[in-house]
Amino acid sequence: MGNQKVWFVTGASRGLGLSLVKQLLAAGESVAATSRNKQELINAVGQNTDHFLPLHVDLASEESVARAIQKTHDTFRHIDVVVNNAGYGIGGSIEELTDQEIRASFDVNVFGMLNVIRHVLPFLRARQSGHIINISSIAGIAAGTGWSIYAATKFAVMGLSEVLAQDVKSFGINVTVVAPGAFRTSFLTPESLILAKHPIAAYEDVRASHAKYLTMDGAQAGDPEKAVAVLIQTASQPNPPLYLLLGSDAYQRALRKVELLGDAFSTQEEVAASTDFKQLTPLF
């Protein structure tokens, strides 16, 4: 297999995942790709080579994820790059969404990702190398009204990735957390975006925000093929970045958030210090 890498990509039958798999195969890389529907994935990828391992995986099931990773390792003998891409949007104010809807989104966007990370790490640690790329969102840095639960899942991805990067650094494993802005995929279609089924009329701004996003479908500024090319380039770097912003909208929103945080925090030095014991060594 020469210098070619072995990739493990989740949520690969559409959108960014599908573009990634296609570009990787075109570049001669080996790819294990997961989907809830293996046949749809095979049809979408449209090629059948020894370098391509399509896998039917239920990300919320630890056993299903463990089997897929073991099969990838058995097939390609190692794993180099893991792209935790599968995810979907959920819109609604907190009181409009049910416990079940909220937990289901965490099952895919967060716990599915954790299942993959937990089961792939022993293989990466054994080789003292590897790169885990987690797809968060600009909503995991700066979210807007109407998307609290989606933001919560993507903030979770940010947080776990930041600490994971520190935890696995000494094993030679890199972590990158990606914050895309709006990209022209299936993300804003009913297949990938669920909205509160029982809207409460009082949440006018929430409705307006959802209406605005739905009209963006097909007109998003972000080109998925270009995003994927950047991901592949990032994975080839010896020292890849921890944070990767994709899209000029993501860049602008992230910088604005940093400014807002700077302004909000800088006024609090005195009150923050006022709660310390005197002469205590800081723990963190």
Ligand X SMILES: NC(=O)c1ccc[n+]([C@@H]2O[C@H](COP(=O)([O-])OP(=O)(O)OC[C@H]3O[C@@H](n4cnc5c(N)ncnc54)[C@H](OP(=O)(O)O)[C@@H]3O)[C@@H](O)[C@H]2O)c1
DSSP code at position 78 = -
Residue closer to ligand X by CB (options 146, 180) is 180
Quote the CA–CA distance of 209 and 112 in Å, as a whole number: 28
- Residue 108 CB, shortest distance to ligand X, in Å, is 4
Nearer to ligand X, 99 or 269 (CB): 99
The closest of 252, 104, 242 to 174, measured between CA atoms, is: 242
* Shortest reach from residue 74's CB to ligand X, in Å: 22
13 near ligand X, rule: CB under 6 A: yes
Selected from 54, 87, 91, 92, the binder of ligand X by CB under 6 A is 87
Question: Is residue 213 annotated as a catalytic residue, yes or no?
Answer: no
93 sits near ligand X (criterion: CB under 6 A) = no
Closest distance between ligand X and the C-beta of residue 36, in Å? 4
Give the Cα separation of 264 and 255 in Å (integer): 14
Please give the Cα distance from 43 to 11 (Å, whole number). 14
- Taking CB under 6 A as the criterion, the residue among 59, 68, 69, 152 binding ligand X is 59
> Is there binding between residue 85 and ligand X (CB under 6 A)?
yes
| String of contacts with ligand X for each residue 102-141, x by CB under 6 A | ------x--------------------------x-x----
Q: Which of residues 142-161 bind ligand X (CB under 6 A)?
A: none
User: Which residues, at least 6 apart from 72, have a Cβ–Cβ distance to it below 8 Å?
Assistant: 6, 8, 32, 53, 55, 79
Choose one: 47-55, 166-174, 183-191, 252-260; the region binding ligand X (CB under 6 A). Answer: 183-191
Bridge partners of 132, per DSSP, are 82, 175
Distances (CA, A) of 139 to 49, 80, 148, 250, 251: 37, 28, 9, 9, 12
Sequence length of the chain is: 284
Residue 120 forms beta bridges with which residues?
A: none
Q: How many CA atoms lie within 13 A of 122 on its CB side?
A: 7
Find out whether 178 and 254 touch, Cβ atoms under 8 Å: no
| 3-state SS class at 155 | helix
Q: Does the footprint of ligand X cover residue 252 (CB under 6 A)?
A: no
Q: Does position 23 bind ligand X by CB under 6 A? A: no
Stretch that binds ligand X, among 64-72, 75-83, 95-103, 177-185 (CB under 6 A): 177-185
Considering the complex, what minimum distance in angstroms separates the CB of residue 53 from ligand X?
A: 14
CB of 130 to ligand X, least distance (A): 20
Q: Is 36 in the site for ligand X (CB under 6 A)?
A: yes
Backbone angles phi, psi at 81, to 5 degrees: -130, 130
Contact status: 231 vs ligand X (CB under 6 A): no
Interatomic CA distance for residues 236 and 144, integer angstroms: 33
Q: Which residues bind ligand X (CB under 6 A)?
A: 11-17, 35-36, 41, 59, 85-88, 108, 135, 137, 180, 182-183, 185-187, 192, 220
Active site residues: 150
